[in-house]
Chains A and B, each alone.
Chain A
Amino acid sequence: MASRRKLSLRENAVGYSFILPAFIGFLAFMAYPLFNSLYLSFMDWNMFKGASGSTFIGLQNYADAIDNEYFRIGLMNNLLLVVMAVPLLLILSLVIAIQLNARILGRGLLRAMYFVPYITTITAAALVFSALFQPEFGPVNYVLQALGVDSPPGWVMSVKWALPTIALFWIWKHLGYCIVIYLAGLQGISSTYYEAASIDGANKLQQFFRITVPMISPTTFFLMITSVISSFQIFAEVMVMTQGGPGTASVTMVYHIYDTAFKQYNMGYASAVSWIFFVLVVIVTMVQWYGQKKWVKYA
């Protein structure tokens, strides 16, 4: 009995030693910064003087955030981005994945081409995208003018178009990833369902809505959750393409956090905004999580 306990203890020690490095990493780089930011959110924090030069101000940073026009604009822009970008991304990637799932010539090459933007550095991709959509000399507006559009959009330099342009870029960047995930989901659907539906006289459209869509609903759910979170986190696109402009047209929450934390050194306020933002993302994710019971079908 004693030797069995010894063995179990040794096994546990070995087990803990294996997870120890990752656990230390988690504590140092995840848990500590996370809870430290919560602490900072209640402080008027002077990052150059540390705790001795800072004061506890309770919920003032949270109140300031709600009162701040950049916060409100950032939140609204983030919600607009989710509404504009996520449905379009999912629909487009599903349509393309279905095409790529068929036995067409150059399927492998096409898959790779769609995936390239996803693995390209975001800064480089954003610069290329900005050049394509340059309002005065960009090829996109050149083509539009050739097609008879007298006043093509000003894209990133237009108050109306800056956010949609960022959404467009984000969709282009993430399309390849979603296609690959959808392809995996599509390949998991047994052909017998389609054969049986054909025998019963179902056309392609009926097969798509009655078989494909329900069968890949877990994939759609996964992509929806991750895409919504990812679109909430849009930052580098804004940083490279618009810096929040023109005016405040493309300010997002993360850009606002970066601006207040690292340009204005207002760490306490930025931490409060981060926590409000975190709670909002959790709420949105929870709503999606509970909503999935109504439309996600697990085979």
Chain B
Amino acid sequence: MKRQMTILLMIVLVMSLLAACSQSSNGGETPASKGNESKEGSDAKKPIKMVIHLNGIDEDIKMQKAMEEIQKLEKYKHVTFDFHGREADFLTAVPIAIAAGSQVDLIIVANPMLQQQWSDAGTIVPLDELAQKIGVDFTKEFGPYVDNASNNGQLFIVPHNITRWALYYNKDMFDKAGVPYPDDKIPMTWDEYRELAKQLTSGEGANKKYGAFYLPWGTFWYGDAIMALGGGEHFYTSEGLSNIEDPAFAKAMERTFNMMHVDSSMPTHANAVTSKIDPPAFMNGSYAMNIQGGWVLPWAANKEKFPRDWKMGVAPLPVDSGEQTKTWGIVNGFGISPTSADPELALEIALDLSRLSAQYADSSESANRTVAQEELFEIFGEALADDGITVDHLKSVFTNAETVFVGEKVMGPNNVQYEKVITEEVEKYLVKEQALEKTIENIKRRGDETIKKK
């Protein structure tokens, strides 16, 4: 009897466990399919919650206005919006939540590498069929940026924001060094940028003022090369292998190394990593020049959060050669998760968010082509008037139609792994643990192996 009871108890436990597990691993039935069933059933305007992860994009004024307005639209009266802002470990936590079956409707896809990775993995779903169902023409909606929305011939994101980089500088440090400000219209070359940084560097130890700012981001050591070559797709040869042996890459890496270790005009890579120097650190007044995207403007305008007693200037990004202005950047956007409660509705909301935020675009251009972006730089022209910055000036730097725009990320096959190899090898070079030739040789060998694995 005792034995029978034990067996019975075990069976009950195992059955209940299996039942619980089968609910979470049914594979086919997702909240999305449940949502569709209920919609097809009787009431299409049944109350519904939309879970939207924006991870910091919500801190942008244009997105805040768009979030506020979308909740007031009659067509979304039945929708409860659950916006999530900045999240610790967003890049792992949210995909795992999706994999676990939690409802996520829209998720910000912040760069093209992530877009490739997430579209390959199934973290975000293709949008072609959905777009057809709701009758939206992506080409009309996003013009040339429709290319940025696609991976492997399918649409995966609703393009939202276009980042473009510029040169920001500390006018007071230029004045102190008796150096004229960078030209508003004609860009300097990277070689001139290095020379200028040398002249602007002063002091030692804790009082050191650097000529140039540095972040341990790829663009800081391969930016010159992609600008010269024409974008992230040039990390590959015409045969589809690693193009790192192109002299442009060695030249770019060497320039960064020399600024760190020969001129001491830029914080070293070791310092940036161990001191955890973050992007807004430029605002602390210890750097004469900084290359970053349009996101610096809100920091500069927010003097409560980033108090400063110096004036800032903005100029075109340095270029590889000539006087033609060039810049790099990315297009980010909204992806739809496979666990969306209603993918069609999610796509409509993503499109409306892109249109509404384009209407209020302030520090960077929005990808949406159907809305006039009349407020672009208006706030900052006013907020940065004391710095001598005007709306026209910002427009000429950030939205000049003549400026050559290149994609800043490693694109193409197995790009995430390939960039990992580049980062690992360049890091050893920048901390003086590996020669440049060896670095190039290692990237070529490991990069080719990585690319071929795809």
Residues from chain A with a CB closer than 8 A to the CB of B99 are: 47-48, 265
Residues from chain A with a CB closer than 8 A to the CB of B417 are: 264
B-contact bits for A87-126, CB 8 A (1 contact / 0 none): 0000000000000000000000000000000000000000
User: Is A79 an interface residue, CB under 8 A from the partner?
Assistant: no
A157 close to B5 (CB less than 8 A): no
Bound form: Cα–Cα A134–B267 in Å:
13
Residues from chain B with a CB closer than 8 A to the CB of A136 are: 268, 270-271, 274
Bound form: Cα–Cα A32–B22 in Å:
12
B-contact bits for A229-244, CB 8 A (1 contact / 0 none): 0000000000000000
Residue count of chain A within 8 Å CB distance of chain B? 41
Q: How far is the CB of A291 from chain B (nearest CB, A)?
A: 37
Contact pick for A46, options B6, B117, B122, B428, CB 8 Å? B122
Residues from chain B with a CB closer than 8 A to the CB of A263 are: 91-92
User: Is B301 an interface residue, CB under 8 A from the partner?
Assistant: no
Residues from chain A with a CB closer than 8 A to the CB of B269 are: 157
- The SS class assigned to the B binding surface is helix
Contact pick for A247, options B27, B92, B338, B424, CB 8 Å? B424
User: Is A193 an interface residue, CB under 8 A from the partner?
Assistant: no
A28 close to B2 (CB less than 8 A): no
User: Is A80 an interface residue, CB under 8 A from the partner?
Assistant: no
Residues from chain A with a CB closer than 8 A to the CB of B123 are: 48, 265
B92 close to A246 (CB less than 8 A): no
**30 pairs of residues in contact across A and B, judged by CB atoms under 8 Å:** A9-B2, A12-B5, A13-B5, A16-B9, A23-B13, A27-B13, A27-B14, A28-B17, A46-B121, A47-B95, A48-B99, A48-B122, A49-B338, A50-B26, A52-B27, A52-B28, A137-B205, A137-B271, A156-B274, A157-B273, A157-B431, A158-B433, A159-B431, A245-B273, A246-B424, A246-B428, A262-B92, A263-B91, A265-B117, A265-B121
* 17 further A-B pairs in the complex, CB-CB below 8 A; given A136-B270, A264-B416: A5-B1, A9-B2, A13-B5, A24-B13, A46-B122, A48-B98, A48-B123, A48-B338, A134-B274, A135-B271, A138-B274, A154-B270, A159-B433, A245-B273, A245-B424, A247-B433, A262-B95
- Name B's A-contacting residues (CB within 8 A): 1-2, 5-6, 9, 13-14, 17, 20-21, 25-28, 91-92, 95-96, 98-99, 117, 121-123, 205-206, 268-271, 273-275, 338, 416-417, 424-425, 427-428, 431, 433-434, 446
